[in-house]
Amino acid sequence: MSFLACRVFENKEKELKINHQLVQMELDELTAGDVLIRVEYSSINYKDALAASGRGKIMKQFPLNAGIDLAGVVEHSDSSHFSKGDRVLVNGCGIGEQFDGGLAQYARVQSDWVIKIPETYDARQAMIIGTAGFTAALAIHRMQVNDQKPEMGPIVVTGASGGVGSIAVNLLSKLGYEVIALTSRKSMHDYLYELDAQKVVSEDELGMSDKPLGKALFGGAIDNIGGKTLSKIIAHTQLWGNVASIGLAQSPDLEAKVFPFILRGVSLLGISSTNCPMPLRTKLWHQFGKELPLPDFETIVSKEIALKDVSPYFDELIDKKHHGRLIVDCQ
């Protein structure tokens, strides 16, 4: 049986060393696994865009189907934990990096990576959450485990109009935190207020100095950009506040001094969704709609795309031509 897939190739003969193509594949070409899933929805994450465009070193082998998340229906299972017809999702665990990913009509995965979709949301909504929403939830979880509370002060979310940022703003607000959404895009202000940000500002409007230990302005932060902005936020974080580090859209460099850590007890928390332990991954996916509120799905969706039409969106996402979540209908 043939099916459509967005497959990424390494082409050493061309100037662009990595390129993606929409191809017809056979099931026996997929990477190994004991569960075959008919994919209903996937999404385009920043990491997918880097991999498929060749603008980032993401994939560990070639050729490989792009897509670091998926939701769909079990077509065949050699595992006793899953049966044909089960509605499931997978995110991280190396799909779209080391193993064939979700931007295809079928995916074969290890049963250890598979999570049954809870009754509180469906496959499409699972991919509106996607890896971006899971990463935001993981950041909030780590902050709260480390005793982050709303009364400690506002949470700054950088890169607020992106996938992770949008869902972080929305979830934090629903959980009772004051949220400051940081964005360089004035066109995104109304969108971020619609997600219930209390303030939407540029970095210049935050009032941060270059001092290694500035005035305490924030209870904590979820940072998607790294670089000097992250360093400044750490220096202006309140006593015992938590800063979750997720991305490096600005820079991978960190220029912070130790003063915020040793004089204010500030914690810098690393957030890695790809290799999150499965017990915690499963717990967080099952918290959506229960302990963790569901995001405002339709507000966060920037565009819904058919699998056959994905090609232009990889570069467009990197070039900031979209906001929120790009989901892909693979049916």
Question: pLDDT tens-digit profile of 143-152?
Answer: 999 999 999 9
Maximum pairwise Cα distance, the chain: 62
| Main-chain dihedrals φ then ψ at residue 193, nearest 5 degrees | -65, -35
In this prediction, residue 15 has a pLDDT band, given cuts at 50, 70 and 90, of: low
Q: Round to whole Å and give the CA distance between 22 and 284.
A: 33
pTM of this structure: 0.95
Q: Residue type for 194, please?
A: E
Q: Round to whole Å and give the CA distance between 168 and 154.
A: 13
Reference 135, options 118, 116, 155, 157; nearest CA is: 157
Reference 243, options 139, 135, 132; nearest CA is: 139
- Distance of alpha carbon 185 from the chain centroid: 20
Mean predicted confidence (pLDDT) in 310-327: 95
In this prediction, residue 16 has a pLDDT band, given cuts at 50, 70 and 90, of: low
For 116, the 3-state DSSP assignment is: strand
Q: Round to whole Å and give the CA distance between 110 and 108.
A: 7
**pLDDT at residue 137 tops 60:** yes
**pLDDT at residue 173 tops 60:** yes
Tokens of 96: 């779209």
Tokens of 82: 């899953």
Q: Round to whole Å and give the CA distance between 117 and 302.
A: 23
Contact of 143 with 268, CB cutoff 8 Å: no
Could you read off the pLDDT of 32-90 as tens digits, one per residue? 999 999 999 999 999 999 999 988 889 999 999 999 999 999 999 999 999 999 999 99
Residue 213 makes CB contacts below 8 A (sequence gap 6+) with 235, 257, 259, 260, 263, 264
